[in-house]
Copies of this chain bind each other. A is one copy, B any other.
C-alpha cells in the first residue's frame, strides 16, 4: 500500500526523522531496519517521543538492543518506561551486563517490577510472551461502570479485546466479556449479564508458547488470559503477539528442517562467523555420521572390486531412500505439531508407511529396471553379461531402501517427541544421513543375495 521507499542514507538523520514521523510505526521500523544501528538511533531521537516509543515497541525492529544501548542515558529511561513490559523484557534479554543492570536501574518502579517478573519466565513459555496491560473489573460492577472504566484506561491499554471479570472476594478470574458483547448490554445491568455462560479459557505462565498458540487459533481468541495457581490474571497473550511468535517459530522450523541451527536474526543481519557457527555444527555432525558410509563401503571392498557396475547406482539408490524419508518426516512433523496425531498413534503410522514405502519403492524399482534394460538393449551402456541380475538387484534394493526410508523418516519425529525434543528438530539432511548408511548395507546385502555365484 503506502509503504516507504528506501532513502538516500547520506541525508541528515533529523531530516529523515521529520519525513518519517507521520508514517505508521511498522513502516518506520522497516525504514530503520535498513539503517545501521547508530543511524537508526539518531533518527529515533529526532522522532516525537510517543512515536519513538511506538517504534521501539514493535518486535520487528531488528537491532532494538543495540539502538537502545546507543541512546543517551537521560532519554532512554523515558522511552523504556513508555514501552510495554513484555517488549522491554525481550530487549533486555539481548543486552549484555553491565548495560542491562544500568538500564534496569533507570526504569520506574512499576515497569521494573513487571520486567523482573517477566524475565523470570523461560523464553519458550507463555510468561515471556504475555502483555501485562489488561482490563479487569469486579463482578459487582454494572455494564455502564465497566464502559466508563474502559473510556478512562483506553489511552494506556492498547490491547482491550476483552474485559476480565473477577470474583469480588478472591479476585480470581470468573468470566471474560468480549468488548462487542459489552456494548450490546444495558448500562444499568450487572456486567455478568453480558458474559458468556462458560468459564473462560486460560493458560498458565509456565505453559509453552505453542500451547497458547494452539488455544488462540483453535478457539479464535483475540486474547488469552494467563492465570497463576490461585486463578489471578497476571497477563494476557494477544493474538498479534501470537502471530509474531508463530512466524518466528515457522522460520526456526524451516531452518531446522533445512539442517541447521535456527538463526536469531534476519539473514542479512547475521555476522559471518555466527553464520558459519550456526551451519557448521550440524554440517559437521552429519558429516561425521555419514563417514559411516565410507566404513560400510570399505567393508564391502571385495564386492566393489568384483562388481564395479554396482557403484554406478549408489548415489541413485541412496538419494531415493533419503527423499522418501524426508517426505515422511515432513508429514509427521506437521501432523504432530497440529495434534492431528498423538504419540500413541505411532504404530498406526508405521502400519501406513510400510505399504506406502513398498509401493513407492516398487514404482522407482520398475523405472530403474526399465532404464537398465533400455540402456543395455539400445547399446547405450554395457552392464556386463549378468545385466538382468544387476537390474534385479537395483530394483529389489530400491523397494527395500525406500520402505526403510519411509519408516525411519516417519518414526523419527515420534522418537524425538518421546525423548522430550520438539519433533521439528528432525531435518531432511538428518533423515537422509540416517537412511544412507542403512541404505548401503541393504544394497550390498541384496546384491550378495542375488549376485552370489555370478558377479560376486
The chain A residues found within 8 Å of chain B, CB to CB, are 1-2, 24, 26, 60, 147, 150-151, 154-155, 160-161, 179-181, 183-184, 198-199, 201-203, 215-220, 222, 239-240, 242-244, 246-247, 250-251, 253-255, 257-260, 263, 266-268, 272, 275-276, 279-280, 282-284, 286-288, 290-291, 293-294, 297-298, 301, 304-305, 308, 311-316, 318-320, 322-324, 326-335, 338, 340-341, 345, 348-349, 352, 355-356, 359-360, 363-364, 367-368, 371, 381, 402, 427-429, 432-433, 436, 440
Pair B218/A338 contact, Cβ less than 8 Å: no
Pair B247/A429 contact, Cβ less than 8 Å: no
User: Which B residues lie within 8 Å of A301 (CB)?
Assistant: 308, 312
The residue that A253 contacts in the complex, of B254, B324, B356, with Cβ under 8 A, is B254
Write the chain B residue with the least CB distance to A244: B217
The residue that A334 contacts in the complex, of B218, B255, B348, B364, with Cβ under 8 A, is B255
Pair A367/B297 contact, Cβ less than 8 Å: no
Pair B322/A218 contact, Cβ less than 8 Å: no
Bound: A414/B9 CA distance, A: 26
Bound: A154/B194 CA distance, A: 12
User: Which B residues lie within 8 Å of A312 (CB)?
Assistant: 294, 297-298, 301
Write the chain B residue with the least CB distance to A381: B298
Report A186 CB to chain B, min CB distance, Å: 10
User: Which B residues lie within 8 Å of A355 (CB)?
Assistant: 272
Bound: A367/B301 CA distance, A: 23
Write the chain B residue with the least CB distance to A324: B283
Write the chain B residue with the least CB distance to A222: B222
Bound: A251/B432 CA distance, A: 21
Bound: A288/B320 CA distance, A: 10
Bound: A363/B315 CA distance, A: 23
